[in-house]
Amino acid sequence: MIMPKEATNTMRILQGLEHDSSSARLRAALAAGTAPDPRFVGKLVERCAVEPEFQVREMLTWALTRHSSSTTVPRLVEQLRSRRPQARSQALHTLSKVGDRRAWPAITRALLTDADDEVARSAWRAAVALVPEGEETELAEVLATQLGRGGRPTRLSLSRALIALGAAAVPVLRAAMADPDPGVRGHAIATERLSRDPDAGFEFAIEEAKRIVVLGTNGQEE
């Protein structure tokens, strides 16, 4: 029996997503996004959880954004309960790109404070992209509990998320600028500095925050 051309192409793409070659997987993901088909969604989401190559993961995410959010969002939300950190992180990343606010209830405090830095960073970006109007303050309060966490990439991600929340983040940053923990205090000061002068860069803001912490002030101008 000769299979119709469309069915043959679908099978070829699905098989390509499992290929040993990263180049072949990249081409398959590109093809899945170029010609969206609901039959691809499950395999694309599944592959996101285990794909080792960054470029391929990005193409998988792009392919998913090309499909109907009514099909992709439920599948991605399921991944947020996975024990595999990459599954949670990539699902969050993809949800931030899809931009469907129906996913907002799934961005839980547990994800925003996840022990895995990559998961937490992806959750912060997704939360800022999906937060409904009027809930920014509550989100800022949760994000502020993570000030002082991790290394430079993690701290920069959190600073960017808080800055993106605008006025909603101002009170929590001011409170954190007087925190007894120097790591929290310094991170809050650096974030506030960066919000006022984005061109200065994060490194300058961090160094300035260190100086202020050493001097024993909270960095707030009179």
Q: What is the distance in angstroms between the CA of the first residue and the CA of the last residue of the chain?
A: 81
Q: 158 and 129 in contact (C-beta within 8 Å)? A: no
pLDDT at 132 over 90: yes
CA distance 99 to 195: 24
| DSSP-H helix ranges across the chain | 5-16, 22-34, 38-48, 54-65, 69-79, 85-98, 109-112, 117-130, 136-144, 152-164, 170-176, 182-196, 202-215
pLDDT reported for residue 171: 96
Question: Tell me, what amino acid is at 26?
Answer: L
Buried b (16+ CB within 10 A) or exposed e, 148-161: bbeeeebbbbbbbb
pLDDT at 221 over 50: no
- Tokens 């600028």, located at residue: 177
With 0.85 as the threshold, say if the pTM is over it: yes
Percent of the chain scored above 90 by pLDDT? 81
Q: 148 and 181 in contact (C-beta within 8 Å)? A: yes
Question: Tell me, what amino acid is at 147?
Answer: L
The 10s digit of each residue's pLDDT in 166-184 is 999 999 999 999 999 999 9
Kindly state the DSSP code that residue 116 receives in the 8-state scheme. Answer: S
CA distance 41 to 18: 14
The 10s digit of each residue's pLDDT in 80-90 is 999 999 999 99
pLDDT reported for residue 80: 98
Looking at the domain 33-130, which fold is it?
A: Leucine-rich Repeat Variant (1.25.10)
State the average pLDDT over residues 93-107.
97
Cα–Cα distances (Å) from 211 to 64, 65, 160, 205, in that order, read: 45, 44, 21, 10
> Domain boundaries in the chain?
33-130, 134-222
CA distance 59 to 24: 12
- Tokens 């970006």, located at residue: 125
CA distance 137 to 167: 9
Q: 154 and 127 in contact (C-beta within 8 Å)? A: no
pLDDT at 201 over 70: no
Percent of the chain scored above 70 by pLDDT? 86
pLDDT reported for residue 73: 98
| Chain center to CA of 21 | 27
